[in-house]
Amino acid sequence: MTIAIFLAVLFAAMIFGTPIAFSLMLTVVALMWHLDFFDAQLLSQNVLAGIDSFPLLAVPFFVLAGELMNAGGLSRRIIDLAQAFVGHVRGGLGLVAIAAAVMLASMSGSAIADTAALATLLLPMMRRQKYPEGPSAGLIAAGGIIAPIIPPSMPMVIYGVTTGTSITKLFLGGIVPGVLMGLALIMAWRWVQHGQDFEVSERKPWRERFKVLGSCVWALLLPVIIIGGLRGGIFTPTEAAVVAAVYALIVATLIYRELNLKRLYEVLVASARTTAVVMFLCGAATASAYMITLADLPADLAQSLAPVMSDPRLFMLAVVLFLLMFGMVMDLTPTILILGPVLAPLAIKAGVDPVYFGVMFILVGSIGLITPPVGTVLNVVSGVGRLRMETAIRGVMPFLAVYLVLLALLVLFPGIVIGPLAWLT
């Protein structure tokens, strides 16, 4: 009954267009009514407690770092680098999109920011070279969702704070799956573009390639600094976010000199707005999680999952299928905030490694960003590229298929994620 009330209120509010944070607040009120008590002070205290968290300071700084990289020319230079080295290959712009997506993911951690940058710069080039719009948009969308997997990842910060999982280990655990996503996209793109007659860009001489590489050195150093600092214990994930933001600001203003005071003000305002949305979501979700625990909803869910709790792989398969369905109608951050605190303890009881479960949780939730009907990243590609949503949905299907195959492999062989951690940590 508790689960039914929670889901009914949540989805009913969303159907009527209520923002997710306010929908979560309504579920708190509904569960209080169900448990026959209402305390406005308790509600406000839990909202504030959800925001008052030192690790969550990483969120505004990672958001700011992503905005600074897009506005300051770092993202554009990464795409130029990929274009210089693989743009001349048949279907090369697709490979450029994949390479740039992986490199951008190692710097921003935001699927929406990376997708917007890729779509803005690459979709017009793909149109000029007669690439089909659907597969091109689908590839860019599929590449954009690598950002939450490869560190630094804002969703992993939120998941780590929400579930008490080590954020550093989550970051390092996402490296191999993120690289595998890039390889999976290469295979899918090769299959999609087979038999197509694309225009091919002119091969750039090595002198020009090295010139482009030289201009990208400062941008490429950012992921090296972050991952090296985390692995070496030099700074925490929260401090890494500050380092990323300050480094991006210095490079954008003093080295590349593409960010003036007026543009910097716009970047700060955009970052503040995004941060306010995310932090309010965290506060509302904390209040909702408190009521979920009070209503003993995890015990109800554990009872429904009891038949698969004895086998970690069966448990993971059930969770993956559930999250795929949930992700079709819910964005990644609310999915983490709503389901993370409920499912993470059950995973530990089922014998699943908490870091592996966290990486898989984020991966499945990220795939939800390119699945209809919501498909936030698909909406970004459609809006930036001025495409019909139906075109983007059809175009993303081959790439969604290879991601599902990769998911199956990671469920069957969890050592793919867990194994490299022994070396990385």
User: What is the predicted pLDDT for the residue at 69?
Assistant: 84
Per-residue pLDDT, averaged over 293-309, amounts to: 74
Per the model's pLDDT, the better-predicted residue between 58 and 200 turns out to be 58
Q: pLDDT for 387-405, tens place per residue?
A: 888 888 999 999 999 999 9
Backbone φ and ψ for 153, nearest 5 degrees, come out as: -125, 120
- Average pLDDT of the chain, as a whole number: 85
pLDDT at 372 over 70: yes
Nearest-angstrom CA–CA distance, 271 and 113: 11
User: What is the predicted pLDDT for the residue at 178?
Assistant: 94
pLDDT at 187 over 90: yes
pTM for the full model?
0.85
Cα diameter, the chain: 74
What Rg value do the Cα atoms of the chain yield, rounded? 21
Per the model's pLDDT, the better-predicted residue between 378 and 411 turns out to be 411
Alpha-carbon distances of 291 from 38, 46, 164, 285, 317, rounded to whole Å: 11, 10, 18, 10, 28
User: What is the predicted pLDDT for the residue at 314?
Assistant: 93
Per the model's pLDDT, the better-predicted residue between 271 and 297 turns out to be 271
pLDDT bucket at 143, cuts 50 / 70 / 90: very high
Nearest-angstrom CA–CA distance, 117 and 124: 12
Q: pLDDT for 336-371, tens place per residue?
A: 988 888 899 899 999 999 999 999 999 999 999 998
Q: pLDDT for 28-73, tens place per residue?
A: 888 888 777 777 777 788 888 878 877 788 888 888 888 888 888 8
- 305 contacts: CB under 8 Å, gap ≥ 6: 315, 318, 346, 350
Per the model's pLDDT, the better-predicted residue between 401 and 424 turns out to be 401
Nearest-angstrom CA–CA distance, 281 and 23: 10
User: What is the predicted pLDDT for the residue at 173?
Assistant: 92
pLDDT bucket at 424, cuts 50 / 70 / 90: low
Q: pLDDT for 225-256, tens place per residue?
A: 888 888 787 888 888 888 888 998 999 998 98
User: What is the predicted pLDDT for the residue at 1?
Assistant: 65
pLDDT bucket at 196, cuts 50 / 70 / 90: low
User: What is the predicted pLDDT for the residue at 281?
Assistant: 82
pLDDT bucket at 192, cuts 50 / 70 / 90: confident
User: What is the predicted pLDDT for the residue at 156?
Assistant: 93
pLDDT at 102 over 80: yes
pLDDT at 313 over 70: yes
**Highest mean pLDDT range out of 261-265, 286-290, 305-309, 400-404?**
400-404
pLDDT at 410 over 90: yes
279: exposed, middle or buried (Cβ count in 10 Å: 0-12, 13-18, 19+): middle
pLDDT bucket at 407, cuts 50 / 70 / 90: very high
pLDDT bucket at 151, cuts 50 / 70 / 90: confident
Indicate the angle between helix axes 354-367 and 312-327, nearest 10 degrees.
Answer: 30
User: What is the predicted pLDDT for the residue at 198?
Assistant: 62
Nearest-angstrom CA–CA distance, 102 and 105: 5
User: What is the predicted pLDDT for the residue at 246?
Assistant: 92
